Structure 1
Amino acid sequence: MDIRTTLSTTAVDDARLAEILANPGFGQHFSDHMLTVEWTPETGWHDARIEPYGPLTLDPATAVLHYAQETFEGMKAYRHEDGSIWSFRPEENAARMVRSSHRLALPVLEVPDFVDLVDELVRVDQRWVPDPAGEKSLYLRPFMFASEAFLGVRPAQHVTFMVIASPAGAYFKGGVRPVTLWLTEEYTRAGRGGMGAAKTGGNYASSLVAQQQATANGCDQVVFLDAQEGRYVEELGGMNLYFVYGDGRIVTPETGTILEGITRASIIELAGKLGFRVEERRVDIDEWREGVTSGEIKEIFACGTAAVVTPVGSLKWDGGEVPAAAEAGEVTMAVRKALVDVQYGRADDSFGWMHRIV
């Protein structure tokens, strides 16, 4: 796909960029450029362009504003010690967007095109990729939305795909520390046949009121149970879960109604290489409560692109609490180190996960 590039004449100067990269936070600053491609049934994907980052002009009737037909991805670019820049399993993000697009009745952007478009924006804005110290990275947000101006419930006939980039530090303030979780017994996130396995904004919007409850109760994140029986652990507001048992097993809730996380899938492979037996199955909330209380569950951790691997502390709900299984347990930190060492080029990439961009 041919890409037309118009460089910014007001790019952030080097001194200001150094200040930003020293303490980027998460999702607070954005690189100098953005990538855009458009789609219509007659033309297919066309008019690929990189241009200065800036506001969008949308008609008030733009379909996404009324019917939420959109998908997105989250991925990162990492600078290695030799200055080269890499992404982590970008073809898996591309494949997941294909699945999400099918579910949201959006056009498919083929995997090679997705990877090439993301790569090109990173090449143009490569100075925004932080040095690896402190495990900083450039967070990449590809997204697709219904950009046709119309009021009517049908798939849009004009769709826009974009990529923006934001330098990222630690997702949670204070770095790697156990996060406290709130169990919502009032709200669910997705049911059978729903959109839980699609990475779409509606899934995150539906989690926000429960996240407000979590915050009001002094917790970092919210835990959702299945919609049918209200018994089985599914996922957090933005991460997948793992349970470490005393006999060496690592268990993660099975997918189907929850998002198939790329970090989650990578940990399954990585933990197997580290000698653990990984099970994907349903996890009853009582198994969590009783397992931690009895000591059978030794550690719990959460994972996601933004947070990487994060230890889980206590679980709270209205009228009860289970204390932390462990404070940043040994297995949790071993899995985390193995993963980030591959991402930052400090360990051999035996899985072939890393994709060189620059």
Structure 2
Amino acid sequence: MITRSLTHSRSNSMAAFGTQFTAKMVTSRFRDGQWSDLEVVPVEPFSMHPATHVLHYASECFEGLKAYRTESGDIHLFRPDRHVERMLNSASQLLLPVPDRAALTRALHMAVAAVAEEIPAYPGALYLRPTLLGTEEDIGAAARPTQKALFYVLTSPVGDYFSGGLQPLRVKVDDKAQRCTPSFGAVKTGGNYAAAMRQIVQAKQELGTDQVLFAPGGVIQETGAANFILIDDKELLTKPLDGSILPGVTRDSILALAADAGLTVRETDFTVAELLQRAPGAEAALTGTAAVLTPVGELVYEGETIRVGDGQMGPWSAQLREQLCAIQSGASEDPHGWRVTLES
């Protein structure tokens, strides 16, 4: 078990999330039908030929997860198995070569161990970004998968995502735009984020919203970067995993804790009309790795603003967020076995 002195921890007063990095990362390359050994190397720019596959055909996927330091100094990853599983699925959908499950898991542990001294105390954490890129030099390969690839794990010490205080979000409900290709929503690839960006930026400029809740055809899906849940009368509603939304690990964790707490969890399609009808007496929230669970205070639909509940974080949302954060930080028991302690 790896334990480090807390005197080496960085302050939680840090640069903006995702802009500060450690000096080491883990890499492996695929060529001639096999992956090279995983290596810990310095973080430095990659050199790529202008014809590199990923630059032309978006052959890439990634993950985002965290490692935490407990008060005693122990270090653990939160649900790495689910992130490994999701990366394997993303790579399969993109026809990318990918290291096997054991190698992906080992890479995560190597990346954390290599920079253990840089992991800040909670509510800080070490954010891990495993990434897979197609690197074949061939602009004629538009209709076939890359024969070369690069896998790496970049790490970033992060502070409290809400260092200025947790504030309810203002979210536009869009029943016309698609977040991404309908059957490709379960893939964690940059193209899906790029597809949603224009709607998010436009809504922020025109309506002062923080995010867009995509609901093509009037059926609620998710926002551009997080899953969506609605809690009303001891019932939690969320879109089922039908391939159109990302199978969020935080989403899955919140659903499990909600069921433990006595909420009826319904993974079912529900409409914009139902959301707007329930919103004044309900709670709504976004779930994701970076922000855990963030309340939605206002919905904007066709120019009209609808307040969710009293516009603040509701009691169920607060309870679920507190429970999950306590498990992640090591401050409470881990009944579902989600913490994976880093071994020396």
Q: Fold-level match, TM-score > 0.5?
A: yes
Q: Runs of 5+ in structure 2 lacking a partner? A: 1-6
Shift of 1:261: 0.4
User: What corresponds to 1:4 in structure 2?
Assistant: none
User: What corresponds to 1:254 in structure 2?
Assistant: 240
Paired residue for 2:209, among 210, 216, 219? 219
Asked if structure 1 preserves the Cα contact closer than 8 Å seen for 2:132 and 2:152, the reply is yes
Instruction: Give a deviation string over 1:168-202, Cα, whole Å, max 9, x none.
Output: 2233563322111012344212344x321100110
Determine helix, strand or coil for the equivalent of 2:184: coil
Shift of 1:18: 3.9
Paired residue for 1:312, among 284, 296, 320? 296
Distance 1:356 1:41 in 2: 35
User: What corresponds to 2:318 in structure 1?
Assistant: 333
Is 1:346 matched with 2:331?
A: yes
Is 1:271 matched with 2:258?
A: yes
Residues 131 and 52 of structure 1: CA distance in aligned 2, closer, same or farther (over 3 Å): same
Q: Which amino acid in the other structure matches residue 156 of structure 1?
A: T
Shift of 1:143: 0.6
Determine helix, strand or coil for the equivalent of 2:221: strand
User: What corresponds to 2:20 in structure 1?
Assistant: 29
Q: Which amino acid in the other structure matches residue 304 of structure 1?
A: G
User: What corresponds to 2:3 in structure 1?
Assistant: none
Shift of 1:61: 0.6
User: What corresponds to 2:4 in structure 1?
Assistant: none
Shift of 1:41: 4.5
Instruction: Give a deviation string over 1:53-76, Cα, whole Å, max 9, x none.
Output: 111111111100000011100000
Is 1:128 matched with 2:118?
A: yes
Q: How does 1:226-305 map to 2 (within 5 A)?
A: 226=216, 230-246=217-233, 248-256=234-242, 257-293=244-280, 295=281, 298-305=282-289
Shift of 1:23: 2.3
Is 1:150 matched with 2:138?
A: yes
Determine helix, strand or coil for the equivalent of 2:299: strand
Distance 1:175 1:136 in 2: 14
Asked if structure 2 preserves the Cα contact closer than 8 Å seen for 1:190 and 1:258, the reply is no
Determine helix, strand or coil for the equivalent of 2:284: strand
Distance 1:190 1:81 in 2: 41
Asked if structure 1 preserves the Cα contact closer than 8 Å seen for 2:120 and 2:159, the reply is no
Instruction: Give a deviation string over 1:40-96, Cα, whole Å, max 9, x none.
Output: 253x11142111111111111110000001110000010001101111110110000
Q: TM-score w.r.t. structure 1 length?
A: 0.89
Distance 1:129 1:316 in 2: 39
Asked if structure 2 preserves the Cα contact closer than 8 Å seen for 1:91 and 1:112, the reply is no
Asked if structure 2 preserves the Cα contact closer than 8 Å seen for 1:292 and 1:325, the reply is yes
Paired residue for 1:109, among 99, 102, 116? 99
Instruction: Give a deviation string over 1:134-183, Cα, whole Å, max 9, x none.
Output: x1111110010101111121100101101101112233563322111012
Distance 2:67 2:157 in 1: 9
Paired residue for 2:171, among 181, 186, 206? 181
Distance 2:189 2:321 in 1: 27
Determine helix, strand or coil for the equivalent of 2:247: coil
Asked if structure 1 preserves the Cα contact closer than 8 Å seen for 2:176 and 2:215, the reply is no
User: What corresponds to 1:201 in structure 2?
Assistant: 190
The count of corresponding residues between Structure 1 and Structure 2 is 332
Asked if structure 2 preserves the Cα contact closer than 8 Å seen for 1:59 and 1:149, the reply is yes
Q: TM-score w.r.t. structure 2 length?
A: 0.92
Determine helix, strand or coil for the equivalent of 2:129: strand
Q: Which amino acid in the other structure matches residue 324 of structure 1?
A: V
Asked if structure 1 preserves the Cα contact closer than 8 Å seen for 2:170 and 2:297, the reply is yes
Asked if structure 2 preserves the Cα contact closer than 8 Å seen for 1:25 and 1:170, the reply is no
Residues 195 and 173 of structure 1: CA distance in aligned 2, closer, same or farther (over 3 Å): farther
Q: Percent identity?
A: 35
Is 1:51 matched with 2:41?
A: yes
Q: Which amino acid in the other structure matches residue 69 of structure 2?
A: R
Distance 2:102 2:304 in 1: 49
Instruction: Give a deviation string over 1:297-330, Cα, whole Å, max 9, x none.
Output: x211110001101111101134212112231111
User: What corresponds to 1:9 in structure 2?
Assistant: none
Q: Runs of 5+ in structure 1 lacking a partner? A: 1-13
